[in-house]
Amino acid sequence: MVEGPDHIYLSDPEGRSPFPVELWVDNFGVGPKYSTGATIDLPDGLVRPGTAIIKLAGPEGKLVRCKVFIPAMPILPPRESLTGLEMLSIPYEFTNTDAEHVLASLGDLTLGGANDPALIRWDSAAGRYRTFPCDFLTHIVPGEGYWVYNPNADTIVLPDDAQEVSTDDAYVVPLPRGWSQIGCPFVLPVRFQNIQVLRNDQLWSMEQAIERDYIQPAVFSYNPATGEYEWEQDLSAVRLNPFEGYWVLARDEIQLVIPPPSELATAATPASESSAEDSVGWQIQLAVAGAGRVCAGRAFGMDEVAEEGLDRKDVPSPPAAAGAGAVLQAEFVSPSHQTPPCLVDMRPYGQTEQTWYLAITTDASDQLIRVSWPSLQALPADMIAILEDTTSGQKLWMRTNSAYTYNSGEGGLRLLKITVRPAGSVTPVVSQVTATAAPGSSWAISYNLSSAATVDVRIRNISGVVVKHLVSSELNEAGRNVVLWSGRSDRGTVVPSGRYLIEIQARSPDTGQTGRIISTFAVMR
């Protein structure tokens, strides 16, 4: 083991891997022990590079834990994948950098069928994916990230000319403006916060570059088992692991200067950023589920340090996973602004009213899509939130509901509008109730609302017994509203002639106060 101030590397005496592991059992007791055994509990996939916790069970039940960083070897077993897709980087240099040579163990990379392996990479300048072979995607270079479609789950064995990148100097990765796929250029992990940013021949720490809006403070990885992105905004907690691909968003043309793993510089401390505990604002978490997929971690809210447009409080949405068939995607969009799609969309705190648009896209037809929010406790008590389906026109008050479900139909885009505004104090008033005979022995029941309200409409017989629930907890706008009654009861039978009662109860989404009215009308047959 090679030990540093905050890490331990597992390697052989020459700093390489694989290596043998030996375990001794010592008896520290006063008497003999018989049939004693010891177990080394190695985590699954130890051959993959990254960080792992090694646990050793010792005498008298003592348990010792040790964090180790596992170096990359020139062999990469496939991970469990929902679609056969992984986002990778290759931390080796080659005499022959041609992609077909480096990834020869996968076979022909020329995509001709659904079961053929493929190499794909995002072209920031064109704003689209490129698939091998093409001029943009010809060579495998350390520090770059790639999508590798590996439908047969073949092990990637790098060729004999693979050489570890020298750790004598920092490695420079150029980034154009926009989204880029990157990776760790070394066979050992690198702390992202220790990376420096070079712009116009001037070198900045990562924190300084973020303060100057040169790079967005979020690093994204891809979980092949779920087919979803995962991200981290606390860059001090991010390590770039060998063989893993990552997304970063450069807001200007820059270069990443990645220090060797042995260079353990202390991360810079932000000079003026407020801590999360001191921040004033609120945030609501959302999850979108359907078609066997879950888009978690979506959120919207307000924060005192947030600004209009994209800022460090937002989490922009990377390009959809290549070739994964975007079965389900959920992101906040700004139809009237130039703000890019976001997974977390924070607005300036204190504004009287704000509107968010959640765009849900699926290629799955006739599927139930469920949008849920576990709690609205973070929302100030004097604010209300209303969700509106812009396709169906359905609205609901988010404080009295925890989810909204719709059918995807033929698939495609569904836009949900979320409006947050100050609560009012007026109790809704229901008036001008009328029942007018309509074609087909039905009745059009109309009423006027003094303000927006959640409405219940019931038909009762003259004895007060409910015969039909027409509307239950439906959000209606202020003004004239109309509901049709077929003249049938909840059991589906035609009601007889006679006098009936219309009961309408309206509840304010602002305060929960209710207004109620009962009116009579006659059914003649």
Strands 342-348 vs 63-70: parallel, antiparallel or unpaired: unpaired
pLDDT of 181 above 60: yes
pLDDT on residue 28: 77
Nearest Cα to Cα of residue 69 among 320, 243, 197, 236:
243
pLDDT on residue 339: 78
Question: Identity (one letter) of the amino acid at 227?
Answer: G
Long-range contacts of 376-380 (CB under 8 A, 24+ apart): 376/284, 378/282, 378/283, 378/284, 378/301, 379/282, 379/284, 379/420, 380/282
Q: What's 41-106 look like in SS3?
A: ECCCCCCCCEEEEEEEECHHHCEEEEEEEECCCCEECCCCCCCCEEEEECCEECCCCEHHHHCHHH
Q: Of 321 and 42, which is predicted with more confidence?
A: 321
pLDDT on residue 265: 36
What is the rounded CA–CA span in Å between residue 358 and residue 346? 13
pLDDT on residue 334: 87
Taking the CA atoms of residue 465, residue 468, residue 474 and residue 479 in that order, the dihedral angle to the nearest 10 degrees is -90
Model pLDDT for residues 322-373, shown as the tens digit of each residue: 765 558 999 999 876 667 899 999 999 876 889 999 999 998 899 999 999 9
| Cβ 284 vs Cβ 373: under 8 Å | yes
Model pLDDT for residues 195-253, shown as the tens digit of each residue: 999 999 999 999 999 999 999 999 999 999 888 999 999 998 899 999 999 999 999 99
Give residue 506's pLDDT band: very low, low, confident or very high (50, 70, 90).
very high
| Cβ 70 vs Cβ 15: under 8 Å | no
User: What integer best gives the mean pLDDT of the chain?
Assistant: 86
Beta partners for 384? Answer: 421
What is the rounded CA–CA span in Å between residue 31 and residue 257? 58
Q: Could you tell me which CATH number the domain at 430-523 has?
A: 2.60.40.4070
pLDDT of 172 above 90: yes
pLDDT of 45 above 80: no
* Geometric angle at alpha carbon 33, from 28 and 37, rounded to 5°: 90
Identify each DSSP E strand in 334-490 by its residue range.
342-348, 354-362, 368-372, 383-389, 395-397, 403-407, 412-422, 430-438, 442-449, 453-461, 466-476, 479-485
- Kindly provide the b/e burial profile for residues 469-494, where b requires at least 16 CB atoms within 10 angstroms of the residue's own CB: ebbeebbbeeeebebebebeeeeeee
Percent of the chain with pLDDT over 90: 61
Q: With 0-12 CB in 10 A as exposed, 13-18 as middle and 19+ as buried, what is 343?
A: buried
What is the DSSP annotation of 275-317? PTTT--EEEEEEEEEETTEEEEEEEEEEETT--SSS-TT-EEP
Model pLDDT for residues 262-318, shown as the tens digit of each residue: 543 333 333 334 344 456 899 999 999 998 889 999 999 999 999 888 899 999 999
**What average pLDDT does this structure show over 496-510?**
90
| Cβ 117 vs Cβ 152: under 8 Å | yes
Q: Of 113 and 195, which is predicted with more confidence?
A: 195
SS3 236: helix
pLDDT of 463 above 80: yes
Query: Where are the chain's structural domains?
Result: 2-70, 73-261, 284-422, 430-523
pLDDT of 182 above 80: yes
Q: Of 18 and 259, which is predicted with more confidence?
A: 259
Model pLDDT for residues 68-111, shown as the tens digit of each residue: 677 788 888 888 888 899 999 999 999 999 999 999 999 999 87
| Reported pTM | 0.73
Percent of the chain with pLDDT over 70: 84
